[in-house]
Structure 1
Amino acid sequence: MTDTVVVIYSGGMDSYTLLHVARSRGLNVHALSFNYGQRHVRELESASAVCESLDIPHKVIDIRAMGEVMAGSALTSDVDVPEGHYEEGNMKATVVPNRNMILLSLATGYAVTVGANAVWYGAHGGDHAIYPDCRPEFVEKMDAVCRVANYEPVAVEAPFMALDKGEILAKGLKLGLDYSQTWTCYNGRELACGRCGSCVERLEAFAIHGVTDPLVYEESA
């Protein structure tokens, strides 16, 4: 088990849970967030507020200049965010080209800088069909590369790889986490839309546990 980890922290419910799981295991956590021009940049506000409240070192890296090599996604370009259930045919438009390879590479460099020997990110079982960079084979190969990319080996780990959104939420509820401190919606509006695939998946996870999502949604406002 590592003593210090860099957690890639988007501000969403998966990475929020991951951040707290790391803390619950007594790890020294450094949170790392990225502004890559995402439509839902509001998530970074949530991330910063949480880290400040927990006194966790938090670095936000602006990589918007890389937008030209990460274009074409509904999250970064002028493409409508798909609505409805979170499944491959509907949500493929939200794939950002090579996003996690880029973010994990930068996070590995940061891990070396702060003396961490692992990078954690929140890929989970529900992502496998849609996002190639959230699949076990991707994590396995990134882990192998990052262990030899520097003099100091850095592991790449996805602790939620075998879990779905409902199971991740179960971990957070057991820890007593307040999910009003997270942002999931792919649209960058004042309130969560409740209709995009990310919102639908989140609401389904809360419904499975018979718990009301503390976020305010447009349709209920």
Structure 2
Amino acid sequence: MSENVVVIYSGGMDSFTVLHHAIRDGKTPYPLSFNYGQRHKKELDYAARVCQSLGLSHKVVDISAINSLVGGSALTSDIDVPEGHYEEPSMQTTVVPNRNMILLSMAVGYAVSVGVTKVYYGAHSGDHAIYPDCRPEFVERMNDVCAIANYDAVEIVTPYLTKSKTEILTAGLGMGLDYGQTWTCYNGREKACGKCGACEERLEAFRDNNRQDPLAYE
């Protein structure tokens, strides 16, 4: 019998790959997306279309009110999205304070309420330098907490925690995935900008895999 799991699904490349990884691993995913006021909430439309095509029960939760508490990020506030390579110090302006702890806490609560014992999310090694809540030590501590926070323990599962964006794309291409069904750009315009750190990292991953990105760029 298939095991049910919650998957935090943003609509981006990483969570798209994690979602299909769970399916290929014989799991039945409960995709969970969040509108936290991100300027690139266009990603949620991509997530919805994928879930509909897969016949999955997709839950989208509006938590945009948290911006009155955790503002100051280029992703949620009136701050220009920085351009340039993903590892540049300027990319720290894209950090949303405590975002993954908040999202994981809600996802774990959802998991407990529907009788699920695993929550998947797409942290990877390319994020470690910039986002503290994507680092292995964060995942380890969250797992410690989630083991005791409820009557039933919930495990945080990060299949690509030690993998790069290039390696994630390699895995997804190996599964035959269409990355035209994902949105990565931090700007939520009609086409991807191709200049923000997220776009640059995505394009680099496609170059490393000798593939053409199916998304349209400005």
- The alignment's TM-score, normalised by the length of structure 2, stands at 0.98
Where 1:102 maps in the other structure, the secondary structure is: helix
1:88, 1:135 → 2: CA distance? 17
Displacement of 1:90: 2.5
Displacement of 1:72: 0.2
AA in 1 matched with 2:205: A
1:59, 1:152 → 2: CA distance? 22
Would the aligned equivalents of 1:88 and 1:129 in 2 still touch at CA under 8 Å? no
2:160, 2:202 → 1: CA distance? 16
| 1:100-124 C-alpha deviation (Å, 9 max, x unpaired) | 0000000000001121101110000
1:141, 1:118 → 2: CA distance? 15
Where 2:147 maps in the other structure, the secondary structure is: helix
Would the aligned equivalents of 1:124 and 1:162 in 2 still touch at CA under 8 Å? yes
AA in 1 matched with 2:48: S
Give matches, 1:68-83, under 5 Å. 68-83=68-83
Give matches, 1:62-211, under 5 Å. 62-211=62-211
| 1:61-112 C-alpha deviation (Å, 9 max, x unpaired) | 0001111112000000001000010014121010000000000000000001
Q: Give the % identical residues.
A: 64
1:69, 1:42 → 2: CA distance? 23
1:113, 1:93 → 2: CA distance? 35
Match of 1:34 in 2: 34
2:178, 2:115 → 1: CA distance? 30
Where 1:187 maps in the other structure, the secondary structure is: coil
Q: Which runs of 5+ in 2 are unaligned?
A: none
Where 1:183 maps in the other structure, the secondary structure is: coil
Displacement of 1:3: 1.9
- The alignment's TM-score, normalised by the length of structure 1, stands at 0.97
| 1:137-179 C-alpha deviation (Å, 9 max, x unpaired) | 1000111111111111111121111100000000000000000
1:169, 1:107 → 2: CA distance? 25
AA in 2 matched with 1:179: Y
1:141, 1:8 → 2: CA distance? 18
- Structure 1 runs, 4 residues or longer, greater than 6 Å off: none
Would the aligned equivalents of 1:36 and 1:62 in 2 still touch at CA under 8 Å? yes
Match of 1:48 in 2: 48
Q: Which runs of 5+ in 1 are unaligned?
A: none
2:138, 2:88 → 1: CA distance? 18
